[in-house]
Amino acid sequence: MATRKRLVLFVEGEGDVMAAPVLVKRLLTEFTAWDCLSLDPDPFRLGAVNNLFGKPEANWIKYLQIAAKGGNLGGVLLLQDGDIALKRGQSFCARDIGRDLSRRAHTTGAGASFSVASVFACQEFESWLIAGIDR
């Protein structure tokens, strides 16, 4: 039997750290993915997507490298709020931001050694998290 690969979550805030794993566990269960994946119990809290560009751009690479050091990394899932204003008055475009993050992630082995996916909720990110709360 093959070893299950780790899925690591990168989230924005404190509430996301608690709710996102519950939501992703439900999705992995629904898609019967537990035979090939294990979910890291402790998501990385990155703050807003603005913290991954400009001067703090190196943070994105640093976080990916730390996640990879845990060994057997299969993927990183970045869950971020997309209804924000970027620095310098830029408008937010999930496609452009995701593409840039993926391009920069290649320097850490993303795309070859592990996968990276960026998901931006452009409206009502909180409703995703509410759906992930245990009742």
Asked if residue 96 is part of any domain, the answer here is: no
Domain encompassing residue 25: 5-85+108-131
Helix (H) or strand (E) holding 116, with range, is: strand 115-121
Per-residue pLDDT of 14-61, as tens digits, reads 888 988 898 899 889 999 999 999 999 999 999 888 888 766 678 899
Q: How confident is the model over 116-130, as pLDDT tens digits?
A: 999 988 766 666 666
The CATH code of the domain that includes 73 is: 3.40.50
Q: Is residue 54 in some structural domain? A: yes
- Which pTM was predicted? 0.86
Rounded distance, CA 122 to CA 43, Å? 21
Q: Is residue 42 part of a domain?
A: yes
105-110 contacts at long range (C-beta below 8 A, 24 or more positions apart): 105/60, 105/61, 105/64, 105/76, 107/61, 108/61, 108/64, 108/65, 108/68, 109/68, 110/64, 110/76
Predicted local confidence at residue 49, as pLDDT: 84
Q: Establish if 94 belongs to a structural domain.
A: no
| Residue 92 is assigned to a structural domain of this protein | no
- Write phi, then psi, for 74 (nearest 5 degrees): -100, -35
pLDDT at 129: 61
